[in-house]
Amino acid sequence: MAPFLESQQMKVNGETEKCRVTVVGSGNWGSVAAKLIASNTLKLSSFHDEVRMWVFEEVLPSGEKLSEAINKNNENVKYLPGIKLGTNVVADPDLEHAVQDANMLVFVTPHQFMEGICRRLVGMIREDAQAISLIKGMEVKMEGPCMISSLITEQLGINCCVLMGANIANEIAVEKFSEATVGYREIRDIAEKWVQLFSTPYFMVSAVQDVEGVELCGTLKNVVAIAAGIVDGLEMGNNTKAAIMRIGLREMKAFSKLLFSSVKDSTFFESCGVADLITTCLGGRNRKCAEAFARNGGKRSFDELEAEMLQGQKLQGVSTAKEVYEVLSHRGWLELFPLFTIVHEISIGRRPPSAIVEFSELKPKFSILESAAQFY
């Protein structure tokens, strides 16, 4: 793994080489990320202007290919209609071609596709590349849970930071103010380079040395968002929703600290923590689909609702609840995490939506959770 600063200073034909950025992914958030970055590469002399964006190719109802429509209109007509990306964003449907020259790789696809994408990228990227993951999700393998940033590092042999936060993409697309958190492992300079690449007057980014804490906040809040949507669908009111958010935050913290003792309490007060939890429980896609699920009494599956309501965009909360449940049952922790457990059981139809507040029989176990969280 080549240190980034060396690559920054690398000379090609006597010239200092500029950074080249590729965004791997072009969904709702992927397109907004490309827009943010493209506005900055035009201004920052240490970056090439062009931002390549890999597009998972699909054919639109008009018969046109999505990548061609993006390049023609300078707009992701399917996943972010009505927003100009910047003429320096170039959509590229060839994954290997899109990454080959980049030394800054931004991964932003639904998490379930990342294993396949990484497999295709082995041996295809520059040795000195640095990565950042904007992906909220994790994989569960035989050996245990694997965060997406670790998957990238292990499969591609490159360092990977993360960027998470209270970031509903459609709001940032129209330049409403929000914040985000970069999580980094060791080298502050790398984190600062990412902060520089993403920051705009309406997108305020700060960095913390806690990759796992930041990434687990972004991942686990999607499970709590499903719970919040169920509460909305059952019209249980604001107090219940606040209670679900509080219990959810506590489970997020305990789960993160049990998995990684390095996770910092302070991370939960950054944008990636409590702020993302709030925005996602108020206005996210997971909440919206879970509300419809509960209104239908759990009779229509999440897959069906996702396809109908999101038009190709993907939910992360239901699959994350399943992945979290696998970790909890494997480690004998189910009783310590009643909310995470119930969300999965409701989402697969094992329990009705109304079970979302059936905590009473589990209440004594909360004290165990408190002590586990404190201990770690």
Ligand X SMILES: NC(=O)c1ccc[n+]([C@@H]2O[C@H](COP(=O)([O-])OP(=O)(O)OC[C@H]3O[C@@H](n4cnc5c(N)ncnc54)[C@H](O)[C@@H]3O)[C@@H](O)[C@H]2O)c1
Tell me the binding residues for NAD(+): 25-30, 56, 113, 169, 285, 314, 316
Q: Long-range contacts of range 176-179, CB-CB < 8 Å, 24 or more positions apart?
A: 176/202, 177/202, 177/203, 177/204, 178/202, 178/203, 178/204, 178/271, 179/203, 179/204, 179/205, 179/206, 179/271, 179/275
Beta strands 138-141 and 144-147 are antiparallel
Q: Scan residues 104-163 and list those touching ligand G3P (CB under 6 A).
A: 136
Pick from 28, 35, 36, 23: which is nearest to 85 by CA?
35
Task: Return the residue nearest ligand G3P (CB atom).
Answer: 284
**Secondary structure element (H or E) that encloses residue 132, with its range:** strand 130-133
Q: CB of 230 within 8 A of CB of 353?
A: yes
Q: Which is nearer to ligand X, 60 or 242 (CB)?
A: 60
Using the contact rule CB under 6 A, the part of the chain among 57-65, 204-212, 257-265, 280-288 near ligand G3P is 280-288
Give all strands (DSSP E) within 144-303, no chain letters.
Answer: 144-147, 160-164, 178-183, 203-208
- Annotation: binding site for substrate: 136, 285-286
Q: Which does 137 bind (CB under 5 to 8 A by kind): ligand G3P, ligand X, none?
A: ligand X
Nearer Cβ to ligand X (10/307): 307
* Least distance (Å) between residue 280 CB and ligand G3P: 5
**By CB under 6 A, residue 271 contacts ligand G3P:** no
CA 129 to chain centre: 21
> Shortest approach of ligand G3P to residue 287 CB, angstroms?
6
Catalytic one of 221, 253, 257, 288: 221
Q: Residue 109's binding partner, choosing from ligand G3P, ligand X, none, with beta-carbon cut-off 5 to 8 A by kind?
A: ligand X
Looking at beta carbons only, is 79 or 325 nearer to ligand X?
Answer: 79
Interface with ligand X (CB under 6 A): 25-30, 56, 79, 108-111, 113, 134-137, 167-169, 313-314, 316
221 has catalytic annotation: yes
Give the nearest residue (CB) to ligand X: 27
Binding residues: 25-30, 56, 113, 136, 169, 285-286, 314, 316
Of residues 293 through 322, those in contact with ligand G3P by CB under 6 A are 316
- Taking alpha carbons only, the member of 280, 308, 282, 289 closest to residue 347 is 289
Token pair, residue 239, equals: 């107090």
- Toward ligand G3P, which CB reaches closer, 29 or 325? 29
Instruction: Please classify residue 294 by burial: count the beta carbons closer than 10 Å to its beta carbon, then call 0-12 exposed, 13-18 middle and 19+ buried.
Output: buried
CA dist 289 and 23 (Å) reads 27
For ligand G3P, the closer CB: 121 or 356: 356
Answer yes or no: are the C-beta atoms of 149 and 107 closer than 8 Å: no
Candidate ranges 41-49, 233-241, 276-284, 297-305; the one touching ligand G3P (CB under 6 A):
276-284
| Whether 70 contacts 26, CB under 8 Å | yes
Q: Which of 8, 167, 181, 320 binds ligand G3P (CB under 6 A)?
A: 167
The b-or-e profile of 148-183 (16+ CB within 10 A means b, else e) is: bbbbbbeebebbbbbbbbbbbbebbbeeeebbbbbb
Stretch that binds ligand G3P, among 97-105, 116-124, 273-281, 355-363 (CB under 6 A): 273-281
Catalytic site positions: 221
Q: Which residues bind ligand G3P (CB under 6 A)?
A: 136, 166-168, 225, 276, 279-280, 284-286, 316
